[in-house]
Amino acid sequence: MACGISARRGGGVAEQSRDRSSAGDPVRTLELLWRVSDASPREPKRQRGPKQRSSVDAVVAAAIEIADREGIGALTMRAVATELGSTPMAIYTYVPGKAELIDLMLDAVYREMSRADLTELPWRDRVATIAAENRAVLIHHPWVAYLPTTRPPLGPGVVAKYEHELRAFDGLGLEDLDMDAALTFVLGFVTSVARIAIDTERAAADSAISDHQWWERAAPLLAQVFDVERYPLAARVGAVAGRAHDSAYSADHAYEFGLARVLDGLAHLIENR
């Protein structure tokens, strides 16, 4: 099942090993994802006394805020409690642990993502649209681009996303397995390019200088050691790309160029039927 997908830093070894989808108990996770009435733990029953200040949705929203701001490695139940002005034990009454929380976060992000009407679009425009929708999600929630999802959380958001994206390939004469594979192909490309873009932005932030400034500082020494006659192609092509992008890499150019090649490859599969 092709669902797309996201990043992190910090946290202990035990927590980092669970920074992936479906690392928790599958039954408890599905109960939470679909808000099954007998899920345990779940939202406490209403009792006399002060009104409950949180909910599963509030916990998930706070967790997404932390991951967006600091990376998923910074996500702990204590951090979520602090974000909500609560205690870790109170958070555990809504979500049993970080593994289940990550699945709820991913499903919530997918539930809220944009889904354009694909009905009247040619197939290339449909595929380009779902690619753009996924790219937007990864830009807004960078941690999603690094989160392993070989076992996707099958919540309402993930299922709705999958149903929507399959419509880009519906009615083209593809077998069901090819539809799933084509979607995986497209989303894999989008995620790959998004990761490079995210890493480029982080490198600039960590170094406190832009790519242009970095190359300016490196250029004098590089001019001394780089043998143009020995590496003529690298010198020529690298210079052209550097002038075009004002850097070694342009995420936007890589995305547009790569998407066109992805569509051309799918055309061979689709239009030859």
Q: Are residues 52 and 86 in the same domain?
A: yes
Q: Per residue of the chain (273 residues), give pLDDT as tens.
A: 655 433 333 333 333 445 889 999 899 999 999 999 655 454 454 444 334 457 999 999 999 999 999 999 999 999 999 999 999 999 999 999 999 999 999 999 999 999 999 999 999 999 999 999 999 999 999 999 999 888 889 999 999 999 999 999 999 999 999 999 999 999 999 999 999 999 988 988 888 888 889 888 988 998 899 999 999 999 999 999 999 988 888 999 999 999 999 999 999 999 987
Helix (H, G, I), strand (E, B) or coil at 108: helix
pLDDT of residue 5: 38
Q: How many angstroms from the chain centroid is the CA of residue 115?
A: 16
CATH at 33? 1.10.10.60
CA-to-CA dists, residue 105 to 99, 102, 181, angstroms? 10, 5, 25
Does a structural domain hold residue 152? Answer: yes
CA-to-CA dists, residue 127 to 150, 183, 203, angstroms? 22, 9, 31
Number of domains into which the chain is organized:
2
CATH at 192? 1.10.357.10
Residue 32: which domain range?
Answer: 13-110
Instruction: Give the number of other Cβ atoms within 10 Å of residue 185's Cβ.
Output: 15
Does a structural domain hold residue 257? Answer: yes
Q: Are residues 174 and 201 in the same domain?
A: yes
